[in-house]
C-alpha cells in the first residue's frame, strides 16, 4: 500500500528491544576463572569488547613407552614382540583431554638409559607419563628409575583392577607417572589418575568426572576381595541410567566406551538389574 503499513496489534514502546544492561549488569563477573571457553563464551567476550583474555597454557605431556619387546605398529609381528599400541592410545587420550602430547620414544630395558630419557622428558614437559616397567619383574626398570630420580615418591600400587601397578613421583615440582603396561590398566590409570592432574594444570573448576547410579545390564560373576574393579562400559540414559560392561577381551573392552562401572572390593556377584556406581568418562553425545 505504498508508504503505509497495516498494524494488526497494539505496539508497546520498548517491545522487542533489549535495554542497556539487560545482558550483564555493570560490575557483574562475565565469566568465572576456570571456565572452559567455547563458542558461547567467545561470543560474550567479543560483545563486551575483549579481544584477548588470560588463559591457562595447554599442558605439554611427555609420553614414553618401555620394553625391548615393542615394535612399530606397521612392522611384522614376530615371536616375543608386541606392537607399541599404548603409545598411540595415550597420545590420543591426552589429546581428548585437550593436552599437548609429545612422544619421547620407546625405552630399552636399560636402567641408565631409562633414567636419562625420563630426566630429559621432564625438562621439556609439564607432566611425564610412561607406560610399562612398573611391576616386579626383572626387567621392570621404570619404577626403579623413577624412584632413583625422584625428590619424593608419592605412591606405588593402587587398589584398582585393572591397573594396580602404577607409580607417581615428583621431581623439581613436576609429576612423573609410571602407568601399567596392560592397555586396559594403562588407560584406566590415565582416566582416573592422570586426567584430573591435567584438568588441574588447565585451571578447570572440576577435576573428576561425574558419577551416577546405573542398572547393570548383564550378570557379573567375578569377586575381588582386595581391590575395586573398574569395568569399561557403555552407559545410556532413558528415564534411568543403564550400563553395559565389557566382560571379556583386552582391546575390545575399549571400543566405544563412555563409562566405567565400579565394583567395590568385597561386593558379591551382581545380577542383571542391580545398581552399580558408574563413572561417566565421556560426553553422551
Q: What is the pLDDT of residue 271?
A: 93
Asked if residue 257 and residue 194 are part of one domain, the reply reads no
Render pLDDT for 132-158 as a digit per residue (tens, 0 to 9): 999 888 878 999 999 999 999 999 999
- Domain of 257 in residue numbering reads as 211-280
User: How many other C-beta atoms are found inside a 10 Å radius of the C-beta of residue 77?
Assistant: 9
Residues 65, 174, single domain; the answer is yes
Residue numbers of the chain with a pLDDT score lower than 50: none
Grid cell digits, residue 154:
608419592
The residue among 100, 142, 95, 105 whose CA lies nearest residue 125 is: 100
Q: Which residue has the cell 609410571?
A: 178
Q: Report whether 216 contacts 276 (CB < 8 A).
A: yes
Q: Are residues 189 and 220 part of one domain? A: no
Q: What's the confidence (pLDDT) of residue 193?
A: 98
User: 267: domain CATH number?
Assistant: 2.40.340.10
pLDDT of residue 87: 97
What is the reported pLDDT for 284? 64
Cell 630429559, residue? 120
Same domain as 238, residue 169: no
User: Residue 262's beta-bridge partner residues?
Assistant: 230, 277
- pLDDT for the residue numbered 285: 61
Judge whether 269 and 223 are in contact, CB under 8 Å.
Answer: yes
Q: In whole angstroms, give the CA distance from residue 201 to residue 99.
A: 10
List CB contacts of 24: < 8 A, sequence separation 6 or more. Answer: 30, 44, 48
Phi, psi of 59, rounded to the nearest 5 degrees? -65, 140
How many domains would you assign to the chain? 2
Amino acid at each position: 500500500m505504498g508508504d503505509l503499513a497495516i498494524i494488526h496489534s497494539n505496539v508497546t514502546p520498548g517491545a522487542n528491544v533489549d535495554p542497556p544492561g539487560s545482558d550483564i549488569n555493570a560490575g557483574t563477573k562475565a565469566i568465572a576463572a576456570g571456565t572452559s571457553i567455547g563458542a558461547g563464551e567467545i561470543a560474550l567476550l567479543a560483545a563486551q569488547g575483549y579481544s584477548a583474555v588470560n588463559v591457562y597454557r595447554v599442558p605439554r605431556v611427555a609420553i614414553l613407552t618401555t620394553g625391548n619387546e615393542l615394535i612399530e605398529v606397521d612392522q611384522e609381528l614376530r615371536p616375543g614382540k608386541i606392537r607399541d599400541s599404548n603409545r598411540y592410545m595415550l597420545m590420543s587420550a591426552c589429546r581428548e583431554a585437550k593436552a599437548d602430547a609429545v612422544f619421547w620414544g620407546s625405552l630399552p630395558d636399560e636402567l641408565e638409559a631409562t633414567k636419562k630419557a625420563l630426566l630429559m622428558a621432564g625438562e621439556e614437559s609439564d607432566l611425564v607419563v610412561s607406560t610399562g616397567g612398573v611391576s616386579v619383574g626383572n626387567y621392570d626398570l621404570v619404577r626403579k628409575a623413577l624412584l632413583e630420580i625422584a625428590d619424593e615418591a608419592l605412591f606405588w600400587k593402587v587398589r584398582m583392577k585393572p591397573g594396580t601397578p602404577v607409580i607417581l613421583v615428583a621431581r623439581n615440582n613436576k609429576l612423573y607417572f609410571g602407568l601399567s603396561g596392560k592397555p586396559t590398566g594403562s588407560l584406566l590409570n590415565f582416566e582416573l589418575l592422570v586426567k584430573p592432574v591435567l584438568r588441574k594444570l588447565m585451571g578447570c573448576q572440576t577435576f573428576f568426572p561425574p558419577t551416577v547410579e546405573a542398572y547393570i545390564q548383564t550378570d557379573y560373576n567375578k569377586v575381588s576381595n582386595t581391590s575395586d574393579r573398574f569395568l569399561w562400559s557403555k552407559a545410556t540414559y532413558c528415564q534411568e541410567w543403564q550400563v553395559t560392561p565389557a566382560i571379556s577381551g583386552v582391546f575390545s573392552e575399549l571400543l566405544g566406551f563412555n563409562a566405567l562401572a565400579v565394583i567395590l572390593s568385597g561386593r558379591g556377584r551382581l545380577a542383571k538389574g542391580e545398581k552399580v556406581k558408574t563413572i561417566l568418562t565421556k560426553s553422551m553425545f
